[in-house]
Structure 1
Amino acid sequence: MTTLLKNVTNSIWHAFSALQQDDSGFVGKSKLKVLTANIATLLDLYGVERGLDHYRSTPTLNFDHYIYYLGQEVFSSIPNETPLSVLRNYEKKIDEVCWLVCHKDFQMDDAYYTEEAVHQLFRIFCLMADLYNDEMDDNRFTVRIHPSEALIVVKQLLNSLGLNYNNGEKYDYLKTSDNGLKFNEFLEILRFKDYDKVNDYVASICEAIGDIFQTLIMDVIKKGYLYRRGYVLPTFREYFFVIQPCELSYYKHHTDKEVCGTIALDSKFTVKPSVSSSSKTERIQKFTLVSRDRAYELGAQDHKTRLQWISALQLAITYSTGREGFQRDTVNRRKQQRDLEQKKRQEEEKLRRIHLKQLEETNVQLEQEKLARLAAESQARQYEAVAREDSRRVAELEDVKLSLERMLEDEIQAKRDEEIVRALQARVLAEEWDKREELEQLQAEQKALLELERQKRMEFELRQQENEKRFKDAEQKLRQLEEERKKLDRELKQARQKIQLSEDNKGIVEAKLQAMAPTFRKAPDFMIRRTQSFVAADRPVIVSAPR
């Protein structure tokens, strides 16, 4: 995509959207041929619209297909070395054609803006807006401006009207919103109904829009009065100068539209300060604009103004060889900064989701550990009940043993007393021996049971110790995870506070810079450079022309 096509894509989309009969995202080729012919005529091309009949075998085209056709058949004819001034002139003409097609969709219900002011706002909107593809339908596109860009226009308009932005808290939502605004919505937020008590309000706001239009669209880097030494008569005369990236124009008065002269700027120009040599011109702070074959001697009223003009001229010379102007480059840098911030927020959100997922997994593992602990405790209670039952049985066996011992003693005593009856003694003795064998067998079985019970008890104690150790490890791991989560929450909160503080500081610095613009000439040189470097480091700043 060429630079010119990229710059006018938003304007072409509005014309394309105005030609749609429904919301399908497609336009008939017959209507597109008329629009293509008008755009091609501005570029000194004829007949290129006929190629639409053979481009794709459908009677309609979506915007993506149409832009591709324009890039291949129309804008590809523009050489890459085309000067920036010529590209800007093409862009102006194409925007006017697109505005003629779509301006009926943006008619205001009242005389709040003039038609010229709405057209200027349309071009400002197309410069600062972005083209988005519908997530639900690939054939549908929309052009929206980011709320932060709209807020810049609101602040500049309020400052141009001499109104205090601090009284307009209703626009503060634009600082945090990421939902883009269409052109109708953009016009609506610029209807300052709360400030319409200003005298001659319509004329004032249209004039303010014209100033912003010159800064953003005409790419006016600086304008004001300077002295210029004549070429024939070597005397200094005061003119109203206007600096753009490609040229330095001067007029007799700031209200004049007839140009007294134009100096085409390129990379071969340099700016050099010079020292006044006579008492008559001592009040003029002179500097020289030098090209390869000529030098233009200029002068300012004071040293601070001279430094401002030298800086503006050097900036214009730097952008004179580029394919994009200063303001468009500034807008693009703000877009890149927003993309980086959005990418950073997405990465932070991704990390936060990962941490939450890990925390959930840890909680699940903790619940599993708790269930395992409950199961182990239940099993331990069962083992304890079995142990109590075994102890009871052992006690019963002990009682049986004592009873058997007493019976043995009684049997011995009975054998002594019954020596006379041998036969009976022999029989009783035999029975006694049998009972004794049974008793010994029971004692052996009792010892075996006691040994088995001891082994089971030791095994149970080992299992209980192992479960207690696992439970303590799980509790320690849970505490560590809780501490890590709290630490991450604190870091996330601090990061959000820093981001919020940075955004608040940015807004305050921008408001102060805009408020200091009328007295900017009185600031010392080192304060200007420090302020410019601070703002440039924080976020891109639009260089506003003093009135």
Structure 2
Amino acid sequence: MLSRDEILKPIWYAFTALDLDRNGKVSKSQLKVLSHNLCTILRIPHNTSALEEHFKDDDEGPVSTQGYMPYLNMCILNKIQANFDFNELNKMCWTLSAPKHISGKHLLISGVDAFKIWCIFNYLSEDKYPLQIVIEELEYFLRKLFAAMGCSWNEDRFEDYKMQLTNKTKTWKHKVFKHEGLLQIIQPGTKSPTKMTNWGQAAFTETELDELERIWQENKNRSHDAQ
């Protein structure tokens, strides 16, 4: 049977597709539909009262008090049957998420092939969110795929693509670290400003990093306008 981590990957896409305002909240009515579809595909009884009980303090507007993940774990994932069709789960989640991420007008491959690539990406991606794939693993997979198809590998073209992908996946903190003098941060346990060299997870929360990024960008724009 598939691990819970593998099952969660497509479900995460389906849930985020329902987050229309991108604020981490989804309406209860949408969660009811998603939960019903998940229960049907995973072949478990659907208990609508359990979701109502879980979100009993969120009677109006998007649910948020307890979050969907505890309910998903307790009432759905813990009761999964071994004989469910994982491909059907992928198809359902893809149907919800695809319109949010791709446009048929600019797609150079068929919708069926796009779905297959999405499944491969989910399979190879790390078990953390948002889902990302290690570039070296992507290169290994593509080399094998090209060889199986009898196609030649264009090293220069992939190096250009890898550079673009690396720049996109690097977080703001890595970019700031390389940009000398733009920002000084007070390290935990010190009283004087100094350039941050320890980017460990315990240093700042995501909210703090977002605020620091905003301040850094404002200072950068202000400096540019003054020139």
- Is the structural similarity TM-score above 0.5? yes
Q: How has the CA–CA distance of structure 1 residues 154 and 128 changed in structure 2, closer, same or farther, with 3 Å as cutoff?
A: same
Contact map agreement 2:40 2:46 (CA 8 A) in 1: no
Q: How has the CA–CA distance of structure 1 residues 60 and 130 changed in structure 2, closer, same or farther, with 3 Å as cutoff?
A: farther
1:28 equivalent in structure 2: 27
Rg: which structure is higher?
1
Matched, 1:19 2:6: no
1:70 equivalent in structure 2: 72
2:93 equivalent in structure 1: 98
Distance 1:49 1:153 in 2: 42
The amino acid of 1:72's aligned partner reads M
Distance 1:149 1:61 in 2: 37
Distance 1:35 1:14 in 2: 12
Percentage of pairs with the same residue: 20
SS at match of 2:26: strand
1:462-494 C-alpha deviation (Å, 9 max, x unpaired): xxxxxxxxxxxxxxxxxxxxxxxxxxxxxxxxx
Q: How has the CA–CA distance of structure 1 residues 49 and 159 changed in structure 2, closer, same or farther, with 3 Å as cutoff?
A: farther
Distance 2:91 2:140 in 1: 24
Q: Deviation at 1:101?
A: 1.1
Contact map agreement 2:41 2:89 (CA 8 A) in 1: yes
Structure 2 stretches lacking a partner, 5+ long: 171-227
Q: Deviation at 1:110?
A: 3.9
Q: Deviation at 1:3?
A: 4.8
1:367-420 C-alpha deviation (Å, 9 max, x unpaired): xxxxxxxxxxxxxxxxxxxxxxxxxxxxxxxxxxxxxxxxxxxxxxxxxxxxxx
Distance 1:22 1:104 in 2: 15
TM-score relative to the length of structure 1: 0.27
Match of 1:160 among 117, 136, 148: 148
Q: How has the CA–CA distance of structure 1 residues 38 and 53 changed in structure 2, closer, same or farther, with 3 Å as cutoff?
A: same
Note the 1:72-471 alignment, pairs <5 A.
Answer: 72-78=74-80, 82=82, 86=83, 89-105=84-100, 106-110=102-106, 112-132=108-128, 141-165=129-153, 167-172=154-159, 174=162, 177=166, 180=169
Distance 1:108 1:49 in 2: 35
Q: How has the CA–CA distance of structure 1 residues 156 and 14 changed in structure 2, closer, same or farther, with 3 Å as cutoff?
A: same
Considering Cα pairs closer than 8 Å and 6+ residues apart, tell me whether 1 or 2 has the greater RCO: 2
Distance 2:148 2:107 in 1: 20
Contact map agreement 1:147 1:180 (CA 8 A) in 2: no
**Which one has the bigger helix percentage?**
1
Distance 1:24 1:42 in 2: 27
Distance 1:60 1:4 in 2: 30
RMSD of the alignment, in Å?
3.0
Q: Deviation at 1:125?
A: 1.1
Distance 1:20 1:65 in 2: 13
Q: Deviation at 1:19?
A: 0.7
Contact map agreement 2:5 2:127 (CA 8 A) in 1: no
Q: Deviation at 1:146?
A: 2.1
The amino acid of 1:158's aligned partner reads F
Distance 1:49 1:150 in 2: 41
1:300-354 C-alpha deviation (Å, 9 max, x unpaired): xxxxxxxxxxxxxxxxxxxxxxxxxxxxxxxxxxxxxxxxxxxxxxxxxxxxxxx
1:285-313 C-alpha deviation (Å, 9 max, x unpaired): xxxxxxxxxxxxxxxxxxxxxxxxxxxxx
Contact map agreement 2:19 2:26 (CA 8 A) in 1: yes
**Which one has the bigger strand percentage?**
1
Distance 2:169 2:147 in 1: 23
